[in-house]
Structure 1
Amino acid sequence: MEHHSDSLKVMVIDDSKRVRRTAETLLKKVGCEVITAVDGFDALAKIADGHPRIIFVDIVMPRLDGYQTCTLIKNNSAFRSTPVIMLSSRDGLFDKAKGRIVGSEQYLTKPLGKEELLGAIRTHVPDFVPLERAS
């Protein structure tokens, strides 16, 4: 696979294959390189290897939930400044507050559409220029 060094690396951590596939499809269409992980443990190894510029993480996951995953990312000095966007099917104030406490930059409610994903990327990765592919 030929990867352009200027394509934006985005990580999507979600235990749902459907969510990962949807996000990956949407992001690839706008020219992002997508790294997916099924849970926090899987993600941490891949973050060290891939150095994504922005990370989307689902809150409800087995083994290591999104809050714990975000805490681990933010506790690592190499990734502390990487924006972490929490994903949840719940739109509760408590969840959002907890997301802020663990250091996440934003909270998105599922289901995710292209606008939500792109909006978050544009906000936190200002130099990102999406490709507009006709597909």
Structure 2
Amino acid sequence: MTSAQNLNGIKVMVIDDSNTIRRSAEIFLKQAGCEVILAEDGFDALAKITDYLPDIIFVDVMMPRLDGYQTCSLIKKNPRYHATPVVMLSSKDGLFDRARGRMVGSDEYLTKPFTKDSLLNVVAERASRLVSSHQ
């Protein structure tokens, strides 16, 4: 797929304590037509998730207060969001980190710094699965 993907109307939540990561993800996603919800940490995300009902959630592993694993686990334990894809974001790309993400229910793992294409490809792939599961 190319970076000119049309992802109009897909609601994407980006949870990261780094303003730079949040902003770059927001720019990439908005250019592709996504609706973007930003959260600074897990508590912020949990407060916003019911208002926005995102189609896909990106969550940073290393965050203060509530880390990405705890946030993912809380999201996945809620029956309303159990099927919502959660993608872990981390600068660490180890087998242990990926396994731990799977254990708390994450659907995918994206290494930071991510490229526009890698971010949009994950959204496009997950969005196509959402569409096919709703048909």
Instruction: Provide TM-score, normalisation by structure 1.
Output: 0.88
Aligned to 1:33: 35
Identical-pair percentage? 62
Question: How big is the shift at 1:58?
Answer: 0.2
Q: After TM superposition, give the deviation of residue 70 of structure 1 in Å.
A: 0.2
* Pairing partner for 1:119 from 104, 109, 121: 121
- CA distance in 1 between partners of 2:34 and 2:92 (Å): 27
Give the 3-state SS of the residue equivalent to 1:12 in structure 2.
Answer: strand
The aligned counterpart of 2:98 is 96
Give a deviation string over 1:90-124, Cα, whole Å, max 9, x none. 11100000000101000000001111111111221
The letter for the 1-side match of 2:112 is K
User: How far apart are residue 14 of structure 1 and its match?
Assistant: 0.0
- For residues 1-135 of structure 1, what are the structure 2 equivalents within 5 Å? 7-126=9-128
Of Structure 1 and Structure 2, the greater helix share is in 2
Whole-angstrom distance in 2 between the partners of 1:103 and 1:116: 21
Tell me the CA shift for residue 72 of structure 1: 0.2
Is the contact between residue 28 and residue 120 of structure 2 (CA under 8 Å) also seen in structure 1? no
Q: CA deviation at 1:127?
A: 6.8
The SS at the match of 1:43 is helix
* Whole-angstrom distance in 2 between the partners of 1:64 and 1:45: 13
Residue 133 of structure 1 corresponds to which residue in structure 2? none
**TM-score, length basis structure 2:** 0.88
Matched letter for residue 68 of structure 2: G
Paired residues, number: 124
Whichever residue aligns with residue 85 of structure 1, its letter is V
Q: Which runs of 5 or more residues in structure 2 are unaligned?
A: 1-7, 131-135
- Distance in 2 separating the partners of 1:58 and 1:116: 16
Task: Return the alpha-carbon distance in structure 2 between the equivalents of residues 17 and 44 of structure 1.
Answer: 18
Please list every run of at least 4 consecutive aligned residues from structure 1 whose deviation after the TM superposition is greater than 3 angstroms: none
CA RMSD of superposed structures (Å): 1.5
